[in-house]
Amino acid sequence: PVKKLKIVVTRKLPTPVELRMMELFDTRLNHDDHAFTHEELVEAVQTADVLVPTVTDRIDSKVLARAGEQLRLIAQFGAGVDNIDVQSAVQRGITVTNTPGVLTDDTADFAMALILAVPRRLHEGSRVMDQGLFDGWTPTWMMGRRLAGKRLGIIGMGRIGQAVARRAKAFGLQIHYHNRKPVSPRTEELLDATYWDSLDQMLARMDIVSINCPHTPATFHLMNARRIDLMKPESYIINTARGEVIDEAALARALKSGKIAGAGLDVFEREPAVNAELIGLPNVLLLPHMGSATIEGRTEMGEKVIINIKTFADGHRPPDRVIPAIL
Ligand code: 8YV
């Protein structure tokens, strides 16, 4: 009976994942890998038993209002589910799942790469070489900032935040964090991490701030102009989570005027659009949402999607069910 389950996958996924899906379910793939339009999403929710969307699909209440009775599961390929109106889906009796865990290390590596790269100006050095402008070493050229002994403030101490903390600790950074609530005393001790109930107070004292929280109504523009202003002029901001957590226009202004020293951004408020003011700034390293882009990670994300669908189809609770109340 599972073979009869109609699955619509909105983006091209790693080939082994697609092959397995075809084997197990009645699967419709997106061969040319275009981003689904609103109309295509509506068509998909009217025909599919299971929709497999990604971060690029906006499954809002308008799309969900058009869903047919047959749609039972939205099995997101991705950890973040801010593209889905989960509340609306659940109210309609549609289960939502995601793929946490398997992209933790890759995303944390990426955040750490940015933490290492931005203060040491790797992007600036690389541009010099690409443009053939290296005309000799001098003792005072391309001086960056040392990491060891500095304070890293992590916003969002979930799986990825903790994985960033473990890496950063090995580089001699002091770990601070802000979260809705403190992590367990054991985790805090292992990470040597200091909890800040007040984000404002933490921000004023950090050398690097890393965003690792999901985008929810509560975290939208958490880093607004006022909060960015609290940061030290010699501090850096790193975002591998969601662009919406930072007011991008306010950040661009702060970076241009030297209110903060630099930024490493892998995510943007209106992807794929990037605030034009951010482009070309020497103190900014921009990347096109690559945090979880490893062959292993993307394959395991696909495997998780399959497990969620299979478990659901077998009449059990899928392992990665998203519960709206905890968002
Ligand atoms: C993916 C991500 O690029 O999982 C997430 O939340 O942002 C990334 O891992 C994307 O979600 C794929 O849908």
pLDDT at 327: 46
CATH T-level fold of 104-286: Rossmann fold (3.40.50)
Residues lining ligand 1, judged by CB closer than 6 Å?
Answer: 54-55, 77-80, 103, 289, 292
Residue nearest to atom 2 of ligand 1 (CA): 78
CATH class of 2-101+294-326: alpha beta
Query: What is the ipTM score, two decimals?
Result: 0.94
CA dihedral (309, 310, 314, 315) positive or negative: negative
Q: Which atom of ligand 1 is nearest to the CA of 99?
A: 4
Q: State the virtual CA torsion across 128, 130, 132, 137 in degrees, nearest 10.
A: 40
Catalytic residue among 40, 124, 188, 271: 271
- Of 27, 29, 107, the residue nearest 296 (C-alpha): 107
**From ligand 1's centre to the CA of 255, what distance in Å?**
26
pLDDT at 96: 98
Q: Which atom of ligand 1 is nearest to the CA of 80?
A: 6
194 token code pair: 């200091």
CA 239 to chain centre: 8
The Cα 92–Cα 84 span in angstroms is 13
pLDDT at 1: 58
pLDDT profile of the chain (327 residues), mean per 10: 88 98 97 95 98 97 97 98 97 97 98 98 98 97 98 98 98 98 98 98 99 97 98 98 98 98 98 97 98 98 98 97 77
* Phi, psi angle pair for 158, to nearest 5°: -85, -155
* In contact, 208 and 116? CB cutoff 8 Å: no
Catalytic residue among 242, 244, 248, 269: 242
Domain boundaries, the chain: 2-101+294-326, 104-286
For residue 289, indicate whether it is catalytic: yes
Give the single-character DSSP code of 35.
Answer: P
- Mutate which of 9, 10, 55 for ligand 1 pocket (most atoms within 8 A of beta carbon): 55
Fold: same for 2-101+294-326 and 104-286: yes
For residue 271, indicate whether it is catalytic: yes
**From ligand 1's centre to the CA of 259, what distance in Å?**
30
Residue nearest to atom 12 of ligand 1 (CA): 78
The Cα 312–Cα 306 span in angstroms is 10
**From ligand 1's centre to the CA of 85, what distance in Å?**
16
pLDDT at 326: 52
pTM: 0.97
The Cα 15–Cα 142 span in angstroms is 43
With residue 152 as reference, give the H or E element that holds it: strand 151-155
Q: Is 25 left (phi over 0), alpha (psi -120 to 50) or beta?
A: beta
CB burial of residue 275 (10 Å; 0-12, 13-18, 19+)? middle
